[in-house]
Structure formats: structure tokens, C-alpha cells
Amino acid sequence: MPLTRSVIIDRDELLKQIDLLRAAIPEEVRAAKRINSEGERIIEKSNEEADRILARAQEQAAFLIGERGLTQFAEAESQRLLGEAQADGEEVRRGADEYAVHVLLSLEGEVVRTLQGIKKGIVVLDERRAELRDEEAAKPDDDTDDADDADEQAESVEQSEAADVAPSGRR
């Protein structure tokens, strides 16, 4: 619309772009969820392994206490094993988080590129509309009554098109 921020866009093209976004986002979200659940599964497995190792270390400590009295050695070994298991679990979690961030940043880039494409399309359409208006303004007025009728028809068409575009949020 002249002297406004309202634009007319190809509804089918916009819906096509929105459908592309809808198709891309769920797949990336599912991938991120899958990665997070895999990371949690690995952490859970690591915790189970740590518990198993700790139980084994406690059994060994009891044996050593009963047999040799080496409690300090058994305690240190169990703490070392527990620390290793926890460090492994943290490393897996960190790797899963980094991958999820990478996937989400990639998705954000795709969304931004798509949005830029939509904005470029709007700019091109605005330029075309301006060119058409300039061409109409440059035409000589042969009959003022015919020109008035044409202006009224053009204004009616523009108002009708503006009503179609208004839900897009651009004005």
C-alpha cells in the first residue's frame, strides 16, 4: 500500500515456506531429543557401572580388612574408580550437550536463511508494485472521468488486497 508498511505477498509461496519450516524444525528437535536421551542412557549406564565398581571395591575392602587390614588402600581405590566413572559420565553429558547446541544452531541458521528469503521476496514485490504505480502515474490523462473511475477501481482492488494481507502482521 502506498505510504504504509503494508505489503501484498504471494500467499501460496508464504504457505510453502512455512510448511518447509514446519518440516525442518520437528526433525531437528527429534534429533536433539534423541541425542539427549542417548546421553542420558549413557550417563545412566555409567552410573550403574560406577555402582557396580563401587560394590566390587567395597567387597574387596571388606576382604582386605578381614585378611590384611588394608582399608585405606581399598577406600582410595573405590574413590578413584568412582571419580573415573563420574568423570566419564560428565564427559558424555558434555558431548551430548555440545552436539545438541550444534544441531540447534544449525537449525537457527536455516530458519534465519528462510526468513531472509521471505523478506527478499517481500522487497521484490514492493519494488514491482512501486514500478507499476510509477507507470500508472506516468500515463497521460486522456479523459479525467475515465481516470477517476480507474483510480476508484484501483483503490478498491488495493483495499481488497490489503484485507487479504492484514493478518500477516506487516503494516
| CA–CA separation, 57 and 40 (whole Å) | 25
**Cα–Cα distance for residue pair 165/85, rounded to 1 Å:** 59
Q: What's the grid cell of residue 42?
A: 549413557
Model-level pTM? 0.34
At CA 159, angle to CA 153 and CA 164, rounded to 5? 130
Average pLDDT, rounded, for the chain = 80
pLDDT tier, 5 (very low <50, low <70, confident <90, very high otherwise): confident
Does the residue 97 lie in any domain?
Answer: yes
Q: Give the end-to-end CA distance of the chain in Å, rounded to a whole number.
A: 9
Within a domain: residue 59? Answer: yes
Domain count, the chain: 1
- Residue 4 lies inside a defined structural domain of this protein: no
Read off the pLDDT of each residue in 69-85 and give the average, rounded to a whole number: 80
What letter would DSSP give residue 5? S
Is the pLDDT score of 147 beyond 60? no
Amino acid 168 reads S
130 belongs to a structural domain: yes
* Domain annotation covers residue 36: yes
154 pLDDT higher than 80: no
Domain boundaries, position 161: 11-168
Check pLDDT > 60 for residue 165: no
Residue 107 lies in a domain: yes
- Choose between 162 and 47: higher pLDDT: 47
pLDDT tens digits for range 10-56 = 889 889 888 887 777 777 777 888 888 898 999 999 999 999 999 99
The answer to whether residues 9 and 165 touch, using CB atoms and an 8 Å cutoff, is: yes
| CB 147, CB 141: distance < 8 Å | yes
